[in-house]
Structures are given as C-alpha cells and as structure tokens.
Amino acid sequence: DIAACAGLSNWTSPITLWAKKTGQIPDEVTPNMSMKLGTILEEPILQLFADEHPELEILTTGTWANKEEPWMRANPDAIYADSTGEFGILEVKFSRDYWTAVPQSYRAQVLWYMRVFGLKKAKLVALAGSSYQEFDIEWDQFEADALFAAAIRFRNHVVQMLAPQWDGSNSTLETVKKLNPNISDGEVDLDDLGQHYFNKLDEFERVEKELNELKSRVLSAMEGKKRGLVYGDHMI
C-alpha cells in the first residue's frame, strides 16, 4: 500500500485507501484482465529470470514484518542471494505498456520492501509491452525516508479517523460517491467552495473547447498519417 499512502499510485488515492482501512468502504478489488495476467504470469517470469541468472539463488518467500516497527510489512515475490551471500529483493511485474524506466509506484513498493528487510539491493523483472525487462534498484536513503514519513502520516490518519488531504484523482471522486450514496431533500450553503467550483467549471469548459479545436486541427494536419512528429520527435 505504500504507493497509495504516498500519493504515487495511479489506481488508489490516499483517501480511497484510508476509507478502506477504516472500514468505510469495502476493501476489495475486482481483478481486471491485466491483474489476472499478472497473477498467471508471475511464476513463469520468475522462472525466466532464474534461467537467465544461474549465478543467483532465488528464494520464494511470504509476508514479513520489520523487527523494530512490526506494522511495517513486506511480501516480495522472492529474495535473491548473489555469490557473495548478499541478499536483495526480487519483484515481478506484468504490464501491457513498454517501460523505459520503473514506474514510480513500483519503485516505491520495492524501496519499502528494502527498508522492511534492511536490504540495499533489489531487482525488478517485468514482462512489459511484450518485452522482457530487468531493472536494478539501488537504495536511496532520502527517497526511503520520504516514503517512511508518508506511511507514518497515513497511519496517523487511519488511527485518528481523519481523512488525508483532498486530491484530484478519479479514485477519490469515486470513493466520495460511495461514502455518500443517498441523496435527501435539503440545502447546504457552499459559499466560497461553491464559487470556486463554478469558477473551475467555467475554466474547464473553456479549456476543453480549446483542446477539441487543437485535436481537430492536428487530425486535419496529419492528413491520414499514422504518426505525428514534433520537431523531429514522435509525439502523437
């Protein structure tokens, strides 16, 4: 959950995670096709990594707790040991998209695991966009400290039943809808909040029109071609 705690998840906002952890909405996820494929392909990807690295000992594992902070948990896909006996975290991922770098949410997850175990090395292996990829993740103390601070803040929000800060994610919007399922007759004075909302709504409608105009102009300028270049780079 560390990526969501720190606001780095593309799927779950801090408010959504907080509502789940405090029992206000169900803490369940309906697996989509990517999630199902990730589960099915985890073992073959791990085996492929082992075949590519006979010099490493691969140890599958379970859920662990930090000795000093037992609330800190980690359940890596595996741990590896090199020829010197040094251990590292091994995490396996599947993605429909090709990666040029480790997504921020996955990097946060691996750094959290490293902190829980007290390890300084990790490898993330992925089948991303039909491409087998390996990434070394080195320990970063500053980044790990920031994630730890985010976890502490989030844990305090849960314990004190105080919601995290608002954000603009779809996850938060859908959670608020779930938290307010019934509409009753009545009025509420929104005042400054309501005025701010309508100002942004007007701004959004204006920008949306400008974006649609640019989409039309770009589509016309491409003259049926598949790719559009911006100063020589493939952008569209």
Give pLDDT tens digits for 88-127. 999 999 998 888 899 999 999 999 999 999 999 999 999 9
Helix (H, G, I), strand (E, B) or coil at 163: coil
* Residue of 33 and 75 predicted with greater confidence: 75
Average pLDDT value for residue range 210-219:
94
State how far the Cα of 25 lies from the Cα of 160, in Å rounded to an integer. 17
Helix (H, G, I), strand (E, B) or coil at 202: helix
pLDDT at 236: 67
pLDDT at 18: 97
pLDDT at 139: 94
State how far the Cα of 118 lies from the Cα of 115, in Å rounded to an integer. 5
Give pLDDT tens digits for 121-175. 999 999 998 899 999 999 999 999 999 999 999 999 999 999 999 999 999 999 9
pLDDT at 67: 92
pLDDT at 33: 82
Angle at 139 between CA 138 and CA 143, to 5 degrees: 120
The two three-digit tokens of residue 158, written as one number: 């849960």
CA-closest candidate to residue 87, choices 116, 47, 129: 116
Strand arrangement of the beta sheet that strand 78-81 belongs to: 57-60, 78-81, 87-95, 121-128, 131-138
pLDDT of residue 234 exceeding 80, the answer is no
The amino acid at 236: I
CA-closest candidate to residue 109, choices 96, 93, 95: 93
Give pLDDT tens digits for 8-45. 999 999 999 999 999 999 988 787 888 788 788 889 99
104 Cβ contact list (under 8 Å, min separation 6): 3, 8
Cα 155 to Cα 12, 41, 57, 118, 163: the distances in Å are 16, 33, 35, 21, 11
pLDDT at 134: 95
Residue 58: burial class (beta carbons within 10 Å; 0-12, 13-18, 19+) = middle
| Residue 14 dihedral angles phi and psi, to the nearest 5° | -55, -40
The two three-digit tokens of residue 200, written as one number: 């942004």
The two three-digit tokens of residue 118, written as one number: 């007290």
